Amino acid sequence: MKTVAFHNLGCKVNDYETDIMQQNFKENGFLVVPFSQKADIYVINTCTVTNIADRKSRQMIHRAKKSNPDAIVIAVGCYVQTAGKEVLKDECIDIAIGNNKKADILNILNEYIKENRPASFGSIIDINQTSEYESMFLTHTADRTRAYIKIQDGCNQFCTYCLIPFARGRARSRDEESILEEIEGLTKEGYKEFVLTGIHVSSYGIDKNLPVSKDGEDNDFFFTGNQKLAELLEKIEKIDGVNRIRLSSLEPRVITEGFAERISRLKKLCPHFHLSLQSGCDETLKRMNRHYTSDDFIKSVELLRKYFDDPAITTDIIAGFPGETDEEFDKCFSFAKAVSFYEMHIFKYSRRKGTVADKMPGQVKDEIKEARSHKLITLRDALSKEYRSRQIGKVKPVLFEEEITVGGEKLLTGHTPEYVKVAVKASDAAPNEIFEVSIGDFLNDELMMGKVIKENA
């Protein structure tokens, strides 16, 4: 039996696609082993979102070849797509597979073996010339409680700091029937929670010739997709066995009055919304080509808070974007504080060759980026604790996932619909089950202690 090892870098879409590839290898008689072990085949699903991601991708490729020089090393994904010529020259890579070709990995491997290991081999298409959504279908994942469901690929936004449109191509949507069928199958395998993910989830449906929005607030054709997304959520809600639905990330502009009101009727949708901000300063947003203002963003947050009871609002912020002055950073900091996010993912701007921002004047010094990032992280920690403190005394349904030991006591941990992590005595609950829990005080900086009230019917 041939052995195969996988290593995944990057986003939840990559996680999903790695699960699919791993599933396909298993179904074809391969034994999946840990990446740290010697294997006959190594598959590295790469990322290119930053220069660091590129470097990590190369490191893992070279580590695989070093672990077993006779192994077949397969590099797939975003780094491969954007650095095709460089990748094909890398002697540590036997097979290079770009995006929209991962479903063909076994056929490509078999062809490689049949051709007796040519010097360079792969399948890297011109991703920007395809309108086809790559068909992939998941039947199980390593996580037994939560399944990530890919509903779209690609992005049309072309933010000035980002290479992803060039790595993933234009926005294209998965067929609704395929999504629903995949979720129905996974419920039969015991999965309780489903996270809808994609490169740009708010684009779902824009390539499906949808009618113009009727609520009058998103006349731009791009954001008529929120109707298709809402419709998909409503259909998932009706599937027996689905206990929870999450959205991985949304553009603020997709949150209109009509959309917020419509999705608020869904009982299984978790009130946990990730709205990508990047900066709270309008001048910086314009240089980023983000297509919205800070005022647009706050209106989206207000709509969510109007229709949901204290929802968890999370975001991303880039510190030290080219041209960001002290005044602009102060605007961003003050805006983030005013919004009062539950969580903020803070990134120091990473200069990316091939992007518009790479050539912008006013590149910020590393020490300034570091200081601004630290200030935002301190704010993030304070706001997160403030939000979680508001959960104390509330009774929330918690989906339990894993057992841990703290101070010699076995605890079971899980998450509320708002994605607040909670622990209870392991003997009082069970993994992959939902229990009503009274939320208590902090056990540590990241975990709250709770008490089981009853099992959720």
Give pLDDT tens digits for 273-311: 999 999 999 999 999 999 999 999 999 999 999 999 999
Q: Locate 294 and state its tokens.
A: 């800070």
Q: What is the pLDDT at residue 119?
A: 60
Mean pLDDT of 83-95: 88
What whole-number percentage of the chain has pLDDT above 70?
93
One DSSP character per residue, 161-207 reads T--HHHHH-S-EE--HHHHHHHHHHHHHTT--EEEEEESSGGGTTTT
Mean pLDDT of 307-332: 98
pLDDT at residue 125 tops 90: no
Helix (H, G, I), strand (E, B) or coil at 325: coil
pLDDT at residue 215 tops 70: no
Structure pTM? 0.90
Q: What is the pLDDT at residue 457?
A: 53
pLDDT at residue 218 tops 70: no
Q: What is the pLDDT at residue 219?
A: 42
- 126/119 Cα distance (integer angstroms): 22
Q: What is the pLDDT at residue 221?
A: 43
- 171/153 Cα distance (integer angstroms): 6
More confident residue, 445 or 1: 445
Mean pLDDT of 214-220: 42
pLDDT digits (tens, 9 = 90+) for 26-77: 999 999 999 999 999 999 999 999 888 999 999 999 999 999 999 999 999 9
**364 phi, psi to nearest 5 deg:** -85, 140
> Which pLDDT band holds residue 130 (cuts at 50, 70, 90)?
confident
Mean pLDDT of 399-405: 95
- 129/98 Cα distance (integer angstroms): 13
Over its C-alpha atoms, the chain yields an Rg (Å, rounded) of 23
Residue burial 92-105, b: 16+ Cβ < 10 Å; e: rest: bbbbbbbbbbbbeb
- 215/187 Cα distance (integer angstroms): 34
What domains are there in the chain, each with its CATH number?
3-125 (3.40.50.12160), 146-389 (3.80.30.20), 395-455 (2.40.50)
Contact 26, 143 (CB under 8 A): no
Handedness of CA 155, 156, 159, 162 (dihedral sign): positive
> Which pLDDT band holds residue 454 (cuts at 50, 70, 90)?
confident
More confident residue, 126 or 330: 330
Q: What is the pLDDT at residue 132?
A: 79
- Which residues, 6 or more positions from 125, have their beta carbon under 8 angstroms from its beta carbon? 98, 100, 101
